[in-house]
A and B are shown apart, each in its own frame.
Chain A
Amino acid sequence: MPRLKFPAPPIPPAFQPKPKRPGTGNGKVKPADQAAEAGIHVVDWIDERTSLSGGLRWLMFRKVPRGTNWFYTLGSATLFAFLSQAVTGVFLAMFYDPSATHAYESVRYITNEAFLGQFVRGMHRWGSTVMVILVFLHMARTFFFGAYKYPRELNWVIGVVLLILTMTMAFTGYLLPFDQRSYWATIVGVNINGTGPLIGPYLSDFLRAGPEFGALTLSRFYSIHMLLVPGLIAALIGAHLYLVAKLGTTAPPWIEAEEDPAAELHKAEV
């Protein structure tokens, strides 16, 4: 008997285990049944040692409010854009060389010679724009649906940090192909940072790792782009989704609140 028990109410009937009809299988165990049994056994083994199933159930089988619509998928769409960037980025890093003298050549190699290189680079390049657009659309959804209000303010704040980090990814990644466009765009971008009074000049020295765009600038941008910021984004997405699961999502503003039957009962008692 598998120990893993699924919760009864929220599971659609199609997913609920059906008892075997008597008389079928006439006592013989088919390989398919054995394979299913083995799979369940493995899952059970892990679950017995981690109790993960409770957490997964908590995360996945949530009630959503009436009126939930396609706009609620924009957050998940952003998440998938991020995952796509992460995966394609890891593979681009296998060919990319963040040195001022080799970067352009390595990107040229990826685009023109590596197998599927142009495709993977294209995914990453266009995907970055897609992710930025999706973040803004998702932000607009939560804004217009009033989803930033109590008790979800913290999720809005985390979202703003995610927005800034996403822009940081776009800015630091833009330099990496190291062609004329990325070089001058980065010069201009760093100089815009420098126009902040008092700390601006030191901030641009920090970004460039010196007073001029130099050998360290590209490697600095590369490490921010592929290690520092993705790590922060992944961690914050975790916190963001924890709060989504914990607090539940908001109903669209045009859905009227229902009378709470418990409150009705209470009124009647009084």
Chain B
Amino acid sequence: MFPPRSILGRHHPIPPVSSERKEPKSKYTADRGIPGAFEGETVTRRRLMTGTVHGLGALAAGAFALPALGFALGPVFKRQKFQWQSIGNVADFNQTDYTPRVITIVSGIGEAGKSTTYVRLRNPSIDTEPEDQYNRVIAISTRCNHLGCPVRFTEAAGKFICPCHGGVYDFRGVREGGPPVRPLDRFYTRIENGQVQVGPRYSVNSNLKRFSPRDPGEPVDGIGQYLYPSRFSTPQK
């Protein structure tokens, strides 16, 4: 426990090495030449006081640092709500062409929280993925799966095209060219009393198999689904 010489400074005498090595060390800090020693202070008392002060300091620092850290990290662990919003009648959409609809992704922040989705009815001749209650209407997200720019459906070509780095997706939203790493995301949909409703986002792999929503740039084919795991924020029914 004797501090290294370098921090003692040269003004503190280094205790003389006694000739009889077996002699037990004194229990007083003064005898051992420990800096700041005072009359009657023992080594154990010094240790107790040092330990207590360090412990209290750590406690006080933890008292503000830990809540602050939790506060900053909190949103990562917050599960999102599973919500539905209506986007019109079934009759407004068809099987062969996309109809754009503006939906609210995040409420309360105005335009910044809105996004476009391209909607059409399921067409069994091209939509080969198994049908269930959530894909009788197909709602494609416009968030490019390269790095998140907004893609646009170009009717003349029948493709989704990204303005940022030239990503191209076919009519079903499957990547055809450019840097995107997976097909365009989709939204859960359902039909309630003739009304089409859009739910949360989900991601798909190149066979259009569903995955929990991933951010752009994160492949879900093969090893990708493990390298980019599902997040705590994934909405749950």
Chain A residues packing against B (C-beta within 8 Å): 100-101, 178, 183-184, 187-188, 190-192, 194-195, 197-198, 200-202, 204-206, 208-216
Q: Contacting B229 at CB < 8 Å: which of A188, A201, A204, A213? A: A201
A26 to B234 Cα, complex, angstroms: 89
Complex contacts, B213 vs chain A, CB 8 Å: 211
The 0/1 profile, CB within 8 Å of A marked 1, for residues 193-217 of chain B is 0000000000000000000011111
Q: Which of B73, B109, B216, B228 contacts A214 (CB 8 A)?
A: B109
- The distance in angstroms between the C-alpha atoms of A191 and B217, with both chains bound, is 7
The binding surface of chain B is classed by DSSP as loop
Q: Give Cα A178 to B111, complex, Å.
A: 11
Compute how far the CA of A204 lies from the CA of B73 in the bound complex, rounded to whole angstroms: 11
**Those of B49-85 within 8 Å (CB) of chain A:** 72-73, 75-76, 78, 80
Closest Cβ of chain B to A240, distance in Å, is 24
Residues A101 and B227 in contact, CB atoms below 8 Å apart: no
Partner pick for A195 among B106, B217, B233, CB 8 A cutoff: B217
- Distance in Å from the Cβ of B229 to the closest Cβ of chain A? 7
> B109 contacts which chain A residues (CB < 8 A)?
100-101, 214-215
Beyond the given pairs A191-B215, A197-B228, A214-B106, 8 more chain A to chain B contacts, judged by CB atoms under 8 angstroms and listed by A's residue number, are: A100-B110, A184-B150, A187-B149, A192-B147, A200-B215, A202-B232, A204-B215, A211-B215
Q: Is B8 an interface residue (CB 8 A)?
A: no
Q: Which residues of B contact A (CB under 8 A)?
A: 72-73, 75-76, 78, 80, 105-106, 108-110, 112-113, 147-150, 164, 213-218, 227-229, 231-234
Query: Cα distance A23–B76 when bound, in Å?
Result: 80
The residue on B at minimum CB distance from A183 is B112
User: Which B residues are CB-close (under 8 A) to A216?
Assistant: 75
A-B pairs, 4 with minimum CB distance: A100-B109, A209-B75, A195-B217, A211-B233
Q: Is the CB of A213 within 8 A of B106?
A: yes
In-complex Cβ contact of A198 among B110, B217, B227 (8 A): B227
Residues of B within 8 A of A188 (CB): 147-149, 164
**Shortest Cβ gap from A67 to chain B (Å):** 34
Complexed CA–CA distance, A30 and B214 (Å): 79
On whether the beta carbons of B113 and A191 are closer than 8 Å, the reply is: no
- Known A-B contacts A188-B148, A210-B233, A215-B108; the reply to A201 vs B75 at CB < 8 A is no
Question: What A residues does B78 contact at CB under 8 A?
Answer: 210
Q: A208 contacts which chain B residues (CB < 8 A)?
A: 75
Q: Can you sample 10 A-B contacts with CB below 8 Å?
A: A184-B149, A188-B164, A191-B216, A197-B228, A201-B215, A201-B228, A210-B78, A210-B80, A212-B113, A215-B106
Bound Cα distance A204, B231 (Å): 10
Question: Bound state CA distance, A248 and B135, in angstroms?
Answer: 70
Given A197-B228, A198-B227, A205-B231 in contact, is the A214-B148 Cβ separation under 8 Å?
no
Closest to B76 in A: A205
Does A206 contact B147, Cβ atoms closer than 8 Å? Answer: no
A202 touches B164 (CB 8 A): no
Task: Choose among B75, B112, B214, B228 the residue that contacts A210 (Cβ–Cβ < 8 A).
Answer: B75
